[in-house]
Amino acid sequence: MADYIYTLETRLSPDQQKAVSAVIDAAKAAGMNVYLTGGAVRDIITGFTIRDLDFTVQGNALKLQKDLERGGALVSDADDETRSLLLTFPGGVRAEIGMARSERYEKTGKPPVIAPATIIEDLRRRDFTVNAMALSLNEGSRGLLMDPFNGAADIEAKLIRVLHNYAFLEDPSRMIRATRFTTRFHWPLEERTQARYESGKENGYIDHIRSSRIGDEIEQLAYEDDALGVLKAYEKEGWLKVLNPRWSTAKVDAAGLSALTKTRQQMNELGYAPDVAPAVLYFLTGRLGEKDVADLRRAIPRKDLVTAWKDLEDDARDLAKRLMGKEAATPSRTWQLLSSARPEMVLFLAVTARQQAVTQKIKNFFTKWRQVQQKIPLPEMTELRITPQMAEYPKIANDVFMLLLDGKLRSRTETLKFLKPLAPPPPPPPPAPTKRGRGAKAAAAALPAAAPVAGKGKKGKGKEAPVEAAAAAKPAVKAIEASAGKGVVAKAAAAPAAKDVAKSGKPVQADKAQENKAAKPVAKKVVKPAAKVTAKPKAVAKGKAGKPAGKKGKR
Ligand code: CTP
């Protein structure tokens, strides 16, 4: 039982997990039982990509709308009849939450009579055994799989099987779905299901398809990984003309679709996850007339998908214009512009842009400029204590990258010169050991005097120690330069402490040297070497040169 919850947790993306938690919480607050159902359960068990999440609640799902919206979900459709919500959760997670219901078909071609029901009755109204399973998300039974039609066995056997003999007659869109699933999974129809399917085709069941189901199937096509493959199968089976009488494979921009798939793959490898559905529809209907495209759009229930599809060209034109303008005058500015643009827009423009300058910039963004990141001297940054633990780290790393992109830091030495003034001060040395017994009083009395010297820069008893520490720190800084590419000569020239650092490659040797040589906190002079190597920053050099150094010593 628990295995399915484990599988659920490991198979869902972090955004999908958050969506599941939000639905569990909302259902709990409303006192409703909630189950994961349909394709999501099938995909969890098979290991296929979980494309969307279907939830079923025992109660009116429409009542969860406000709660879910407060959590950041966008509702793109609400169906009063089935009491279900179409939602998009943060991170682009598509979901549907419906009321557990029974469906009774009284007349062919007429919608079923719907009534609230238990989860088991709800599973009975579904299309195929592999889609008729539910996973409990309720406290006490979380992870329990309900599988009254043995869908798990059909998954094992890789078969698409209808629940009963009237499945295609009652809802002819299931014949289109059967074609879609057999194409997607490469699973055949089970023998009797195949016979029912052929009979349904011969007897023209499809003429009774409900218009809302046509919209569902157009929408589903957009999310298929091999949308063209499915479209071809639809054409062969005679289903494509059901979705639109003038739609055919000849109306597809196949080259655009193939470029989209390739670029999407490239973006996925770089860590982007653009929602390709609007662009898939754009290319699938590339040569279809305007009126037909408008008809298809009207039929799709998910309105945010339609809006994104409609806006594609305008948004891409806008981004191309910005890429040609001042806003993208330098590589760093272009990088910033493309990084902040929606990934789906970058993807679409990469595939459709006609201006050479635009395609080149996007190409650089995907390839050449990423290699520049490797020039960021991470080991030396660690030695300088510029590490991700620093609050300023993202900004510093980004600044270096931007300067490298624009060719403003032309060598490792220049990069280090830029970085050094930004290094945080070394951690304070450990307190001097306190003497016990006789003389302890005197030692204790000495301590407060030492601390302020270090802390506030007051001159006092600790005066000599800082000088020693400064001497120790100086070579350590040199060692960083040496390891940054100054070479053997520089290393040899460095003082012994520096040699150690260079050899071991370990950071923070300077601190060690300080610890060894200066039991007392380090004062002003310690940082001088850092100020000395200050490269960039004219700002730092100008009058402020001693400042970071001073701070460093004061700690
Ligand atoms: N369903 C059905 N008959 C239909 C459409 C849907 O019985 N004509 C049921 C199935 O149980 C299906 C669930 O509703 O699993 C959700 O439908 P949908 O999201 O369209 O399909 P999925 O099975 O989730 O498939 P996909 O992977 O394409 O999203």
Q: Quote the CA–CA distance of 247 and 288 in Å, as a whole number.
A: 7
Name the residue with the closest Cα to ligand 1, atom 23: 39
Atom of ligand 1 nearest to the CA of 52: 29
Centre of ligand 1 to C-alpha 123, Å, is: 11
Centre of ligand 1 to C-alpha 103, Å, is: 15
Q: Which domains does the chain have, with CATH numbers?
A: 1-157 (3.30.460.10), 210-356 (no CATH), 373-422 (no CATH), 442-551 (no CATH)
Judge contact between 99 and 82, C-beta under 8 A.
yes
pLDDT of residue 427: 84
Strands 134-136 and 34-37: antiparallel
Name the residue with the closest Cα to ligand 1, atom 17: 38
| Ligand 1 first shell, C-beta below 6 A | 38-39, 51-52, 54, 126-127, 131-132, 171, 173-174, 177, 216, 220
User: Coil, strand or helix: which one is 469?
Assistant: helix
Judge contact between 79 and 60, C-beta under 8 A.
no
Centre of ligand 1 to C-alpha 39, Å, is: 6
Centre of ligand 1 to C-alpha 10, Å, is: 23
Structure tokens at 275: 């929602």
Centre of ligand 1 to C-alpha 157, Å, is: 20
Render pLDDT for 350-385 as a digit per residue (tens, 0 to 9): 999 999 999 999 999 999 999 999 999 999 999 999
Top mutation candidate among 77, 85, 127 for ligand 1, by most atoms within 8 Å of CB:
127
Q: What angle do helix axes 464-481 and 412-419 make, rounded to 10 degrees?
A: 150
Q: Which residues of the chain have pLDDT under 70?
A: 1-2, 435-555
Centre of ligand 1 to C-alpha 133, Å, is: 11
Centre of ligand 1 to C-alpha 515, Å, is: 68
Q: Quote the CA–CA distance of 442 and 460 in Å, as a whole number.
A: 16
Q: Quote the CA–CA distance of 101 and 99 in Å, as a whole number.
A: 6
pLDDT of residue 432: 81
pLDDT of residue 93: 96
Atom of ligand 1 nearest to the CA of 171: 8
pLDDT of residue 223: 96
Structure tokens at 310: 């409609």
Measure CA 471 to chain center: 48
Top mutation candidate among 85, 86, 126 for ligand 1, by most atoms within 8 Å of CB:
126
Three-state helix/strand/coil letters over 138-187: CCCCCCCEECCCCHHHHHHHCCECECCCCHHHHCCHHHHHHHHHHHHHCC
Atom of ligand 1 nearest to the CA of 126: 7
Residue linked to tokens 């569902």: 216
The set of long-range contacts for 487-491, using a CB threshold of 8 Å and a minimum separation of 24, is none
Judge contact between 34 and 56, C-beta under 8 A.
yes
Residue linked to tokens 């679709």: 257
Structure tokens at 497: 């402490």
Q: Quote the CA–CA distance of 123 and 326 in Å, as a whole number.
A: 58
pLDDT of residue 519: 35
pLDDT of residue 438: 52
* Helices (H) then strands (E): counts for the chain: 31, 9
pLDDT of residue 462: 36
Q: Quote the CA–CA distance of 146 and 149 in Å, as a whole number.
A: 9
pLDDT of residue 431: 83
Q: Quote the CA–CA distance of 65 and 75 in Å, as a whole number.
A: 7
Atom of ligand 1 nearest to the CA of 54: 16
pLDDT of residue 108: 76
Residue type, 148: P
Centre of ligand 1 to C-alpha 54, Å, is: 8
Nearest of 335, 398, 399, 325 to residue 362 by alpha carbon: 335
Residue type, 437: G
Atom of ligand 1 nearest to the CA of 132: 11
Judge contact between 68 and 58, C-beta under 8 A.
no
Name the residue with the closest Cα to ligand 1, atom 13: 38
Instruction: Enumerate residues 6+ apart whose C-beta is below 8 A from 16.
Output: 50, 53, 89, 91, 93
Paired with 338 in beta bridges are none
Using only C-alpha atoms, what is the Rg of the chain?
Answer: 33
Instruction: Enumerate residues 6+ apart whose C-beta is below 8 A from 527.
Output: 425, 473, 546, 548, 549, 550, 551, 552, 553
Judge contact between 214 and 173, C-beta under 8 A.
yes
DSSP code, position 58: S
Render pLDDT for 70-103 as a digit per residue (tens, 0 to 9): 999 999 999 999 999 999 999 999 999 999 999 9
Residue 301: what are its φ and ψ, rounded to 5°?
-75, -30
Name the residue with the closest Cα to ligand 1, atom 25: 39
Nearest of 279, 284, 410 to residue 346 by alpha carbon: 279
pLDDT of residue 435: 62
pLDDT of residue 6: 86
Instruction: Enumerate residues 6+ apart whose C-beta is below 8 A from 430.
Output: 515
Q: Quote the CA–CA distance of 126 and 280 in Å, as a whole number.
A: 28
Nearest of 190, 191, 197, 194 to residue 168 by alpha carbon: 197
User: Coil, strand or helix: which one is 35?
Assistant: strand
Q: Quote the CA–CA distance of 499 and 503 in Å, as a whole number.
A: 6
Centre of ligand 1 to C-alpha 37, Å, is: 9
DSSP code, position 77: E
Phi-psi region of 304 (alpha: psi -120 to 50; beta: other; left: phi over 0): alpha
